Amino acid sequence: MRERDIPYTAVSTPSGILWEWLVMPQGLSNAPATFNRCVTNLLRPVRNFEPSYFDDIFVHSRAMDGKTDVEVH
């Protein structure tokens, strides 16, 4: 892990302790790409109005006849 990226890995525990990962946790490699592929595969059925980018999910809809694509689907 790059030194400058370590602060972005910080997580807080319920007791208030702050942890920063110095290496990819649990020995994972290529984890961000694997996670993104998993999210993409899970959302494939609703891909026409719900694309994803890593851990962000964007819901787009256009109202037609008073109903949105989300409501119709």
Print pLDDT tens along the chain (73 aa).
Answer: 788 888 888 777 777 788 887 776 666 677 777 777 777 788 778 776 666 665 666 666 666 676 665 655 5
Q: Looking at residue 12, what is its pLDDT?
A: 78
pTM of the model: 0.39
Contacting residues for 8 by C-beta, under 8 A, at least 6 apart: none
State residue 7's pLDDT score: 84
Task: Specify the pLDDT at position 71.
Answer: 59
Closest to 71 (Cα-Cα) out of 50, 61, 47, 56: 61
